[in-house]
Amino acid sequence: MTDDSIVLSCPVCTEPLTATQPTGRALACPAGHRFDAAKQGYFNLLTGRGTSFREDTSAMVEARAQFLAAGHYTPLAEALAEEAVSAHHGRIPRILDAGAGTGYYLDAVARAFDKAPGGRPESLALDISRYAMRRAAKLPRTRALVWDLWRRLPVADAGVDLVLDVFAPRNGAEFARVLAPGGHALVATPLPEHLGEAMGPLGLLSIGTGKGESVADALGQDFEPLHTRIVRTPLHLSDDDAVRLALMGPAGHHHDAAGIRERLAVHPVPQVVTAAFRIQVFRRR
Ligand SMILES: C[S@@+](CC[C@H](N)C(=O)[O-])C[C@H]1O[C@@H](n2cnc3c(N)ncnc32)[C@H](O)[C@@H]1O
Ligand SMILES: [Zn+2]
């Protein structure tokens, strides 16, 4: 990695965490805390700490990767990329994708800077799922770390310029700490009507309108809301798409493909299902 690498912070002692030379297959801090890369290239910083969180399984992550690769959510990826480029006026941001999953949106956003001078941004993918981080680790100039977003993030103060959060937990205090002043947070959330037509047939968990705090409240006083963009897109889902859609979300912890197919035989998914998202752009004060 080059000098403009994102500075990591040791999860044990907060000192800088750097790649050990010459292979870069381990991260270590001056106090001697050390984390070896997994075979697939990601780093599990939660080793030895444990967590009560239930990670997305291999099958759930596989379903998500296939569903996204089919292009159903391309309009959201494109909108996020446009917002990132316009927020940074073509300057290359260091990017943190919080709850990155497979890194699909991170890749779309990073790619949007490919043609700018300086090229592909340095980026960091964090997720609690090892299966997700296996995939994100394959992206260029990307470090993938298994970590719990509700803990102190393993990133130096003001270490990144853009936080991307797509349907993932929002730790406002930590996002504020790791963002450089003037940096941005791009937060995507589903609208209440998201996938409405498919909820019943697929046995999905409803999104729960009005429940919980708003994104702005979660991010807190250090963030100035700049603007909001709605992305609405019709989905034409095959049965395979519909099964993947069901498996890739929280319902994937409770159902398997065979169960979902049985359900679809009785309650087919409508011809058109609406995906509806809100993107909110914030500036770190
Ligand atoms: C709905 S998925 C979205 C993934 C990705 N942003 C995308 O849109 O494809 C939510 C992600 O957040 C991760 N996640 C949930 N809670 C987390 C936590 N406490 N710490 C880190 N990641 C978490 C999950 O593993 C999952 O990959
Ligand atoms: Zn340390």
Q: How many domains does the chain have?
A: 2
State if residue 84 touches ligand 1 by the CB under 6 angstroms criterion.
Answer: no
pLDDT of the residue at 218: 93
pLDDT beneath 50, residues of the chain: 1-3, 210-212
Whether 195 is covered by a domain: the verdict is: yes
Q: Is the Cβ–Cβ distance between 284 and 176 less than 8 Å?
A: yes
Whether 161 is covered by a domain: the verdict is: yes
| Protein residue with least CA distance to atom 27, ligand 1 | 101
Centre of ligand 2 to C-alpha 20, Å, is 13
Residues 89 and 227 in one domain: yes
pLDDT of the residue at 3: 45
Residues 190 and 70 in one domain: yes
Whether 2 is covered by a domain: the verdict is: no
Q: Measured between alpha carbons, how far is 249 from 280 in angstroms, rounded to an integer?
A: 22
Residues 14 and 47 in one domain: no
CATH of the domain at 98: 3.40.50.150
Query: Is the four-CA dihedral 93, 151, 221, 216 of positive or negative sign?
Result: positive
Whether 160 is covered by a domain: the verdict is: yes
pLDDT of the residue at 140: 95
Whether 1 is covered by a domain: the verdict is: no
Whether 237 is covered by a domain: the verdict is: yes
Closest atom of ligand 1 relative to the 150 alpha carbon: 19
Residues 153 and 23 in one domain: no
Closest atom of ligand 1 relative to the 99 alpha carbon: 12
Pocket test for ligand 1, best of 57, 124, 127 (most atoms within 8 A of CB): 127
Q: Is the Cβ–Cβ distance between 202 and 246 less than 8 Å?
A: yes
Closest atom of ligand 1 relative to the 165 alpha carbon: 6
Q: Write out the residue range of the structural domain in which residue 63 sits.
A: 42-284
Whether 74 is covered by a domain: the verdict is: yes
Summarize pLDDT for 195-247 with one digit per residue, the tens: 999 988 887 766 655 444 699 999 999 999 999 999 999 999 999 999 999 99
Residues 119 and 14 in one domain: no
Whether 144 is covered by a domain: the verdict is: yes
Residues 29 and 95 in one domain: no
